[in-house]
Amino acid sequence: MAFDIEMIKALYARMPERVATARQVLGRPMTLSEKILYAHLWDSSLSTPFTRGKDYVDFAPDRVAMQDATAQMALLQFMQAGRPKVAVPSTVHCDHLIQAKVGAKEDLTNAVTQSKEVFDFLSSVSNKYGIGFWKPGAGIIHQVVLENYAFPGGMMIGTDSHTPNAGGLGMVAIGVGGADACDVMAGLAWELKMPKLIGVKLTGKLSGWTSAKDVILWVAGQLTVKGGTGAIVEYFGEGAESLSATGKGTICNMGAEIGATTSIFAYDPKMAEYLKGTGRADVAELADGVAGYLRSDDEVYADPAAYYDQLIELDLSTLEPHINGPFTPDLAWPLSKFAQAVKENNWPAELEVGLIGSCTNSSYEDISRAASLAQQAVDKKLKAKAEYTITPGSELVRFTIERDGFIDIFDTMGAVVMANACGPCIGQWARHTSDPTKKNSIITSFNRNFKARNDGNPNTHAFVASPEIVTAFAIAGDLTFNPITDTLLNTDGVAVKFDEPQGLELPPRGFAVDDAGYQAPAADGSAVQVIVSPTSDRLQLLAPFTAWEGTDVTGLKLLIKAKGKCTTDHISMAGPWLKFRGHLDNISNNLLIGATNFFNEKANEVKSQLTGEVGTVPGTQRGYKAAGIGTIVVGDENYGEGSSREHAAMEPRHLGVRAILVKSFARIHETNLKKQGMLALTFADPADYDKILEDDTIDIVGLTEFAPGKQLTIVLNHADGTTETFPVNHTYNDAQIEWFKAGGALNIIRASVGA
Ligand code: F3S
Is the pLDDT score of 426 beyond 70?
A: yes
Rg of the chain in Å (alpha carbons): 27
Partners of 199 in beta bridges = 234, 311
Is the pLDDT score of 755 beyond 70?
A: no
Closest CA to 486 of 502, 474, 497: 497
Report d(CA 725, CA 717) in Å as an integer: 9
Asked if 306 and 348 sit in the same domain, the reply is no
- What is the average pLDDT score of the chain? 95
Give the model's pLDDT for residue 645: 83
Q: ipTM of the assembly?
A: 0.98
Report d(CA 735, CA 737) in Å as an integer: 5
Report d(CA 240, CA 300) in Å as an integer: 15
Give the model's pLDDT for residue 87: 96
Count the neighbouring beta carbons within 10 Å of the beta carbon of residue 16.
Answer: 13
Residues 567-587 have pLDDT tens digits of: 998 999 887 888 899 999 999
How remote is the CA of residue 182 from the centroid of ligand 1, in Å? Answer: 21
Report d(CA 537, CA 539) in Å as an integer: 6
Is the pLDDT score of 131 beyond 80?
A: yes
Using a 6 Å cutoff on CB, does residue 141 contact ligand 1? Answer: yes
Asked if 743 and 665 sit in the same domain, the reply is yes
How remote is the CA of residue 21 from the centroid of ligand 1, in Å? Answer: 38
Using a 6 Å cutoff on CB, does residue 160 contact ligand 1? Answer: yes
Give the model's pLDDT for residue 101: 85
Q: Please, which residues have CB within 8 angstroms of residue 318's CB and are 6 or more apart in sequence?
A: 204
Q: What mean pLDDT do residues 424-450 have?
A: 89
> Which of 453, 474, 496 is the C-terminal boundary of a domain?
496
Report d(CA 557, CA 47) in Å as an integer: 47
Asked if 607 and 725 sit in the same domain, the reply is yes
Is the pLDDT score of 428 beyond 90?
A: no
Using a 6 Å cutoff on CB, does residue 140 contact ligand 1? Answer: yes
- What ranges make up the beta strands (E) of 30-120? 56-59, 63-67, 90-93
CA angle, 447 as apex, 133 and 473 as ends, to 5°? 120
Residues 30-75 have pLDDT tens digits of: 999 999 999 999 998 999 999 999 998 999 999 999 999 999 999 9
Count the neighbouring beta carbons within 10 Å of the beta carbon of residue 699.
Answer: 17
For residue 603, the 8-state DSSP code is B
> What is the separation of C-alpha 343 from the centre of its chain, rounded to a whole number of angstroms?
35
| 753, 81 Cβ separation under 8 angstroms | yes
Atom of ligand 1 nearest to the CA of 360: 3
For residue 394, the 8-state DSSP code is B
Inside any domain, residue 655? yes
CA angle, 36 as apex, 31 and 38 as ends, to 5°? 90
> Which of 255, 289, 317 is the C-terminal boundary of a domain?
317
Atom of ligand 1 nearest to the CA of 160: 5
Positions annotated as catalytic residues are: 95-96, 160, 448, 643, 645
| 517, 395 Cβ separation under 8 angstroms | yes
**DSSP letters of 689-718?**
GGG--TT-EEEEE-GGG--TT--EEEEEE-
Closest CA to 397 of 373, 427, 370, 378: 370
Inside any domain, residue 524? no
Q: Which of 11-15, 299-303, 456-460, 517-521 has the lowest mean pLDDT?
A: 456-460
Inside any domain, residue 543? no
Q: Please report which confidence band the pLDDT of residue 172 belongs to, taking 50, 70 and 90 as the band edges.
A: very high
Asked if 304 and 344 sit in the same domain, the reply is no
CA atoms within 13 A on the CB side of 367: 31
Asked if 312 and 380 sit in the same domain, the reply is no
Give the model's pLDDT for residue 116: 93
Asked if 306 and 367 sit in the same domain, the reply is no
Asked if 340 and 305 sit in the same domain, the reply is no
Report d(CA 468, CA 369) in Å as an integer: 6
> Which of 448, 471, 496 is the C-terminal boundary of a domain?
496
Asked if 313 and 361 sit in the same domain, the reply is no
Using a 6 Å cutoff on CB, does residue 104 contact ligand 1? Answer: no
b (16+ CB within 10 A) / e for 321-350: bbbbbbebbbbbbbbeebbebbeeeebbee
Give the pTM: 0.92
Report d(CA 567, CA 640) in Å as an integer: 4
Give the model's pLDDT for residue 2: 52
Asked if 329 and 462 sit in the same domain, the reply is yes
Ligand 1 pocket test target in 422, 428, 444 with most atoms within 8 Å of CB:
422
Give the model's pLDDT for residue 67: 96
> What is the separation of C-alpha 752 from the centre of its chain, rounded to a whole number of angstroms?
30
Inside any domain, residue 512? no
Q: Please, which residues have CB within 8 angstroms of residue 714's CB and are 6 or more apart in sequence?
A: 661, 681, 688, 698, 699, 700, 701, 725, 726, 727, 728
CATH number at residue 253: 3.30.499.10
How remote is the CA of residue 356 from the centroid of ligand 1, in Å? Answer: 12
Give the model's pLDDT for residue 754: 67
* Amino acid letter, 550: G
Asked if 394 and 444 sit in the same domain, the reply is yes
Using a 6 Å cutoff on CB, does residue 445 contact ligand 1? Answer: no
Q: Please, which residues have CB within 8 angstroms of residue 55's CB and are 6 or more apart in sequence?
A: 193, 194
CATH number at residue 562: 3.20.19.10
Inside any domain, residue 275? no
Report the sign of the C-alpha dihedral through residues 485, 488, 494, 497, in that order. Answer: negative
Report d(CA 264, CA 515) in Å as an integer: 31
End-to-end Cα distance, the chain: 29
Give the model's pLDDT for residue 3: 64
Atom of ligand 1 nearest to the CA of 95: 1
| 3-class DSSP state of 617 | helix
Q: What mean pLDDT do residues 182-210 have?
A: 96
- The residue range of the domain holding 71 is 2-267+298-317
Is the pLDDT score of 278 beyond 60?
A: yes
Q: What mean pLDDT do residues 694-713 have?
A: 98
Residues 375-389 have pLDDT tens digits of: 999 999 999 999 999
Inside any domain, residue 525? no
Using a 6 Å cutoff on CB, does residue 426 contact ligand 1? Answer: yes
* Amino acid letter, 402: E
Is the pLDDT score of 619 beyond 80?
A: yes
Is the pLDDT score of 592 beyond 60?
A: yes
Asked if 168 and 302 sit in the same domain, the reply is yes
Inside any domain, residue 60? yes
Residues 623-664 have pLDDT tens digits of: 999 999 999 999 999 999 877 789 999 999 999 999 999 999
Using a 6 Å cutoff on CB, does residue 142 contact ligand 1? Answer: yes
Residues 89-115 have pLDDT tens digits of: 999 999 998 888 888 999 999 999 999
Give the model's pLDDT for residue 541: 96
Q: How many helices (H) and strands (E) does the chain have?
A: 25, 31
| 3-class DSSP state of 317 | helix
Q: Please, which residues have CB within 8 angstroms of residue 624's CB and are 6 or more apart in sequence?
A: 557, 559, 608, 610, 630, 631, 656
Asked if 565 and 477 sit in the same domain, the reply is no
| 175, 159 Cβ separation under 8 angstroms | yes
Inside any domain, residue 439? yes
Give the model's pLDDT for residue 450: 87
Report d(CA 647, CA 583) in Å as an integer: 10
Q: Please, which residues have CB within 8 angstroms of residue 553's CB and are 6 or more apart in sequence?
A: 630, 658, 659, 679, 699, 700, 703
- Structural domain tally of the chain? 3
Query: Which residue has a Cα nearest atom 6 of ligand 1?
Result: 422
Ligand 1 pocket test target in 96, 363, 426 with most atoms within 8 Å of CB:
426
